[in-house]
Structure 1
Amino acid sequence: MRFLALLLAGLLSGCAVTLKGASLSYHLDFVPAIRYFAPDRGPGATYFLGEEVRFFLTLDAPGWISLVVIDPDGRTYTLDQFHLLSGTHVLPSGAYRYVLTPPRGLHRVRAVYTDRYPGSLRLEGLYTDWDARLSVYLEASRASRYQVAETHFYVY
């Protein structure tokens, strides 16, 4: 019985019920938009100042991606923002490069997927509550579907 209750809770956690006038819409979204996100040397890899880092990102659905870095000093900034189609991508593409600069230490990188163009919205600053800041960002972007994937690497 406990297993059945856990299974039902897990299934319903991905559901959203929306009342619109007299109609009821029900949406199940069990497929994540971001299938894979990692630096080119793998999660937790070591890089040195001046080296370049690339990211592998696999999307199940087209959408807008914001790459957001959280430095070891707690500073958060948007590294890049672009629209991508479904499939596997190497970021950055073209002649653009992500060259590593101080501070040294653990760098966390989050890929924020939205199904709508976030416009000039950016995640920048020192945040004590990432979830609250992300909620403001998502509300302002009017995204009906979103996902956040995180990876990390070290800079020495």
Structure 2
Amino acid sequence: MKTRLMLAALMLLGAGSLSACTVRVTAPSATISFETANYINSFEPDRGTNSTYYVGEQVRFRLNTNRAGYVTVVALNPDGYSNILAYNLYVRGGTTLIDGGPSNYFEVAPPRGYQRVRAIFTTQPQNSYARGSIQGRYEGGQWDAQVRLYLQPAPAQNRDVVETGFWIR
């Protein structure tokens, strides 16, 4: 109930703002605040945000955008390590199922806990240097700082960031 009230309050605050800032709360205690355009309409695991997956199960992500562009999907594991699930994946406007490709898939693995996942959308592909800037181990707000560094070459009107998450049991 508190999460719903918080989300409603944030939506009201955002509706009164004239900036191009995206603030979306879709994961426990996750607030993303970057200067971005609103290209991503939704991003969630195939079972929905905050759903449960067991080690060994497959997970896919539904992404809906209002235009074509490039998406990088990055996971922040419960132990603070991040890994790239998809990099510079071209998506058309509309709904895209991100599942690792025909001979690959995303398999849920330990550590158990809450898995945060971000979709980073840009209208132009990122260079390979940017890829290395979002891999590593992060604590506190360090992950947000690294995502900002990754997005630095892309002007605010050409990018969007949304976070979702799920439980690993």
TM-score range relative to shorter protein:
0.7 to 0.9
> 3-state DSSP class of the match of 1:137?
helix
| Residue 60 of structure 1 pairs with residue 60 of structure 2 | no
Count of aligned positions: 135
Q: Which residue of 2 is the match for residue 96 of structure 1?
A: 104
Q: Which residue of 2 is the match for residue 124 of structure 1?
A: 135
> 3-state DSSP class of the match of 2:49?
coil
Q: Which residue of 2 is the match for residue 10 of structure 1?
A: 17
Gaps of at least 5 residues in structure 2 are: 1-12, 22-35
Q: Deviations over 1:41-66 (max 9, x none)?
A: 11010111110001110011111101
Letter in 2 for 1:90: L
Provide runs of 4+ in structure 1 moved above 2 Å: 6-9, 93-96
Higher relative contact order (CA 8 A, sep 6+): 2
Q: Which has the higher helix share?
A: 2
> 3-state DSSP class of the match of 2:161?
strand
TM-score (ref. length: structure 1): 0.78
Q: Which has the larger radius of gyration?
A: 1
Report the Cα offset of residue 143 of structure 1: 1.5
| Residue 137 of structure 1 pairs with residue 150 of structure 2 | yes
> 3-state DSSP class of the match of 2:17?
helix
| Pair 10,104 (structure 1): closer, same or farther in 2 beyond 3 Å | same
Gaps of at least 5 residues in structure 1 are: 1-5, 16-29
Percent sequence identity over aligned pairs:
37
